[in-house]
Amino acid sequence: MCPGPSEVNPEVFLAMAKPLVSHVDPTFFALLDQLQGQLKTIFQTENICMLLSGTGTSGMEASLINFLEPDDRVLVGVIGHFGDRIRMIAERIGCNVKVVSAPEGKALDPDDVEIAIKGFSPKLFACVHAETSTGVLQPLEDIMNICKKYEVLTLVDTVASLGGVNVPVDSLGIDIVYSGSQKCLGCPPGVAPISFSPRAERILESLTPRNYYLDLRLIRKYWLERVYHHTPPVSLFYACNKGFDLIIEEGLINRFERHRKIGLALQKGLEAMGFKLVADKNVQNPVVTAVYLPAEIEDIKLRKILLEEFGIEIALGIAQLKGKIARFGTMAESARPQNVLYLLSALENILKRYKIFKESGTDVASSML
Amino acid sequence: MCPGPSEVNPEVFLAMAKPLVSHVDPTFFALLDQLQGQLKTIFQTENICMLLSGTGTSGMEASLINFLEPDDRVLVGVIGHFGDRIRMIAERIGCNVKVVSAPEGKALDPDDVEIAIKGFSPKLFACVHAETSTGVLQPLEDIMNICKKYEVLTLVDTVASLGGVNVPVDSLGIDIVYSGSQKCLGCPPGVAPISFSPRAERILESLTPRNYYLDLRLIRKYWLERVYHHTPPVSLFYACNKGFDLIIEEGLINRFERHRKIGLALQKGLEAMGFKLVADKNVQNPVVTAVYLPAEIEDIKLRKILLEEFGIEIALGIAQLKGKIARFGTMAESARPQNVLYLLSALENILKRYKIFKESGTDVASSML
C-alpha cells in the first residue's frame, strides 16, 4: 500500500517477460504507435505523447530542461516535496525562479497564483497535481484558466494521479505534462509518459538542452521518424502496453470512480480510528492518504510492524514531514477493497497494542465499499 | 543477432516478473548491496559501483556531467559514432573539447593520444572500448598508461564490451566507466552500470551537475545511505541481479573465451564468403562484427529478408557508414554456435539468390566451433 510502486497485474508481468526485439524492429515501431494512441486516450489529449526511458523524475527533468533556458522566469506552485523538486531543477538550469506556496495540507490559492503571475510575468507556471508527500490533490481548473488569461505556459506533474484521478489535459489547457509508470498506471517503475502542446513544441525547436539523454527533439525524432537516439527499455514498454490496455478496458470514468470510492473508504475508516489526515478534506487525494501519527507511535516502528507482521508496505514522511506521518497508496491494483480492510484491521491491531484504540475503522470502511 | 538488445536467458525474464517491492524495502536494500558486489566482480574493481535508471546513453551522460564543468578541457578519442556522441555531450556541457581520431576500422594510435595530451593538457580523456558502429575493439592498456603518466582522468565506455570482453578496470586504471544492460551483460535494456574511482569521487564532491536525475552524488546517497532520490526500475534490477549471477556462475574467463571463439568463427565464415570486415584484423571486436556489403545487396533489403524469412534481426550502418554495412552481434545468449551457423546459412542462401555466392562460410565456421 505504498504510494508507488503499486501492485502490478500479473498480465502486465507476463507481457514484460516476452522475448525482446530490437528497438528498430517493425513490430517495435508498431508498438510505439500503439503506445502513443493509448497515451492520448489516458492523457485525454491530441498533443504528441511519448514514453521516456526513465522514472517520473526523468519526466520532471525533461519537462523543464527542454523548454527553459537560463534566466527564464519560472513560477513554481509548491505544496510539498515534489513541487520543491521542480523549483530545484529549474534553479539548476539557471532560471529566475519564484515560488507560490500553500500551508501544509492545503492546495494553492488561485488568487495567490494570479497575484504572483501579475507581478512576475513568468514564461512558465509549474505545479504538482497529486502531491504524494502530503496527499493533497491540487485543483487545476482555476489556476490553468489564470495561466491562459496571462498566456503563461503550463506544466503539471501527474506522476501520482494519471490513471487514477481525472487529468483532462486538453480541456484544462496543460502545455507540458508528465507522469510515472508505477503509480496509478499500474506498471513497473522505470518509464515516464510525457506529452506537450504545439505551443510547447515551438519552444522546443528554439533551444538545445544541455542534457542529451532527455533531449525531447531527438526522442520525438525516434518516436515519429524512427531515427535512432538510444535503446529504450523494450520490456518495460511491453509492460506499459498491457497496463495501458487494462486501463482503457476498465474505462477511465470507471477507474476514477473506483479510486475515489476506495480512497474515501480508507480515509473515513482512518478518521473513525482517530487519525488526523494531513490534507484538507476538500483537497484530499483519493489515491494517496497521509495521516499524522499519534505521539505514542514512532513512524519507523509502525512501518516495521506492518511490513514484518502483516506484509503491508507503507511510506513515511519526507522532508519537513519526516517522522510525523504515514502515507498509504490506493493506486491501480492496490486500490482494492480487500487492501483497505486489511490495512485498517492491521492498524486497529497495532493501536490496541499501544492502548490507544478508540473506534473501529473497518466497520466504517466496509459499509462504504 | 543485433549488437544489442541481445537474447535474454529465460531465467532473467522469470526474475524480472517477480512481484514488486518498494524502493525502500529492506529486501530491496539488500538487493542493492548484492548488485554492488556483482558489479565489482564484473568490472574487476574495488571502486564504487551502481546501476543508473536509464540506458547506456544515460551512463554516458552521467559520466560526463558529474565530472566536468564548462571550459574544462576534454580529449575525446573518436573511432566511430559513439565516441562522437561523447564529444557532443561534452560540448553541450560547455567544455573545451579536442578530438583525436583514427581512420575507419582502425583503433586510436597511442602516439596520437600522447601528442594530443602533451599539447592540450586535458582534465579528462574519454574513449569507447567496443565501438558498436564499426566493430573495432580499442586496446586500452597503452592509452591508459599514457593518461596515468600525464595524470589525466580517464573515462571508458564499455556499453558493448562489459561481460563479453575483458575490462579489468582497476588494473587498467580507469577512473570512470559505464555500460548498458542489454548487450554482453545479457539483460533487458534500461539500466546502466557505472563505476568511478576515489579520484573521480573527489571531483564529484566539488561540483553540482545541471542535471538532477543523473546526479551521482544523490544516487550514491541512495545506494550507500538509503536516502530517497527517485524510484528505480525495480523489475529491471531483479533482472540484472539474475543476469549478473549467470555471468559470475559461468566465470569471467570462460565467458570471454566463449565470446572470442564464437566471434572469430563468425568472422572467418564471413570472410570465406567474401565479405570484407570493417575493422582491422588486429582490433576486431569478438562481439560486434561489421561487414561491408557487396554493391549488389542493398542494406535495408538484406535486413528485411533476414528478419522476414529467417527471423534473424541484424543492425545496419549509422552515421557515415549508413547504407554501406551490416552489423552482427554475438553477445551474451546470442553468442552461441547455432546462431552463427544459422546466420551464415541464411547469408549463403541470400548470396546465391543474388548470384554472388563464392564459398561456404558455414564449413569454415563449423570447424572452429
pLDDT tens digit sequence for A54-99: 999 999 999 999 999 999 999 999 999 999 999 999 999 999 999 9
Do the beta carbons of residue A53 and residue B190 sit within 8 Å?
yes
Residue A1 in any domain: the answer is: no
Cα–Cα distance measured from residue A99 to residue B274, given in angstroms and rounded to the nearest whole number: 67
Judge whether residue B210 has pLDDT over 90.
Answer: no
**A233, A250, A267: which is the final residue of a domain?**
A250
Q: Please, which residues bridge with residue A74 across strands?
A: A97, A124
**Do A230 and A199 sit in the same domain of this protein?**
yes
- Of A190, A216, A250, the residue at which a domain comes to its end is A250
Residue A232: per-residue pLDDT:
97
Establish if A206 belongs to a structural domain.
yes
ipTM of the complex model: 0.96
**CA quadruple B360, B365, B367, B368: dihedral, nearest 10:** 160
Q: Going along A104-230, which residue ranges are E strands? A: 124-128, 130-131, 136-137, 153-157, 176-178, 192-196
**Whole-number Cα distances in Å, A12 to A221, B17, B46:** 28, 9, 38
Q: Is residue B163 pLDDT above 90, yes or no?
A: yes
Cell of residue A323, nine digits: 517522522
Residue type (1 letter), B313: E
Query: What DSSP string describes A254-321?
Result: HHHHHHHHHHHHHHHHHHHTTPEESS-GGGB-SSEEEEEPPTTS-HHHHHHHHHHHH----EE--GGG
Same domain, A194 and A319: no
Q: Are residues B257 and B235 in the same domain?
A: no
pLDDT tens, position by position, B267-287: 999 999 999 999 999 999 999
CATH of the domain at B160: 3.40.640.10
End position of a domain, from candidates B250, B280, B305? B250
The residue-averaged pLDDT of B88-104 equals 97
Which residue range(s) make up the domain with A360? 252-366
Of B209, B213, B318, the CB nearest to A54: B213
- Establish if B224 touches chain A: CB-CB under 8 angstroms: no
Instruction: Out of A16, A53, A313, name the one closest to residue B235 (CB).
Output: A16
Q: Is the pLDDT of residue B4 over 90?
A: no
**Separation of alpha carbons A72 and A122, rounded Å:** 8
Q: Are residues B191 and B291 in the same domain?
A: no
- Flag whether A34 is in a domain: yes
CA closest to A15 among chain B residues: B17
Whose CA is closest to A65, among B41, B170, B65, B267? B65
Evaluate if residue B107 carries a pLDDT over 90: yes
Q: Is residue B113 domain-resident?
A: yes
**Portion of chain B with pLDDT greater than 70, in percent:** 100
Q: What is the rounded average pLDDT of the residues A325-350? A: 97
Mean pLDDT of chain B: 97
Distances (CA, A) of B368 to A366, B147, B217, B329, B361: 70, 38, 48, 18, 11
A92 touches chain B (CB under 8 A): yes
Query: Beta strand pairing status for A325-329 and B73-78?
Result: unpaired
Do the domain assignments include residue B171? yes
Asked if B266 and B291 touch (Cβ cutoff 8 Å), the reply is: no
> Region B168-180: what's the mean pLDDT?
98
The pLDDT > 90 percentage for chain B reads 96
Q: Does residue A65 lie in a domain region?
A: yes
Q: Based on the domain organization, do B272 and B196 belong to the same domain? A: no
Asked if residue A210 has pLDDT above 90, the reply is: no
Q: For B54, which of A53, A208, A210 is closest by C-beta distance?
A: A53
Whether A208 and A333 map to the same domain: the answer is no
A225-255 residue pLDDT tens: 999 999 999 999 999 999 999 999 999 999 9
Check whether B319 has a pLDDT greater than 90: no
Higher pLDDT, A210 or A260: A260
Our CA angle for A328, B241, A191, nearest 5°, is 50
Alpha-carbon distance of A236 to B232, in angstroms, equals 13
Task: Confirm or deny that B217 is annotated as ligand binding.
Answer: no
**pLDDT value of position A319:** 86
The answer to whether A214 contacts chain B (CB < 8 Å) is: yes
Residue B227 placed within a domain: yes
Regarding whether B301 and B179 lie in a shared domain, the answer is no
Q: Is residue A355 part of a domain?
A: yes
For residues B211 and B278, membership in a common domain is answered with no
C-alpha triplet A39, A42, A47: angle, nearest 5°: 55
B208 with B307, same domain: the answer is: no
Helix (H, G, I), strand (E, B) or coil at B104: coil
CATH value at residue A317: 3.90.1150.10
Q: Kindly report the average pLDDT of chain A as a whole number.
A: 96
Q: Go through chain A and tell me how many residues it has.
A: 369
* Chain A residue with Cα closest to B334: A20
Asked if residue B291 and residue B207 are part of one domain, the reply reads: no
Give A2's contacts in chain B (Cβ within 8 Å). 22
Q: How many domains does chain B have?
A: 2
Cβ pair B232:A190 closer than 8 A: yes
Q: Would you say residue B180 has pLDDT above 90?
A: yes
A89 at B interface, C-beta within 8 A: yes
User: Per-residue pLDDT for B302 more than 90?
Assistant: yes
B25-67 pLDDT, tens digit each? 999 999 999 999 999 999 999 999 999 999 999 999 999 999 9
* pLDDT, mean of residues A304-308: 96
Residues B221 and B298 in one domain: no
Residues A301 and A173 in one domain: no
Contact A85 B235 (CB under 8 A): no
pLDDT at residue A4 above 90? Answer: no
Query: Among all chains, which residue has been given the C-alpha cell 515516464?
Result: A192
- With a cut of 90, say whether residue A290 has pLDDT above it: yes
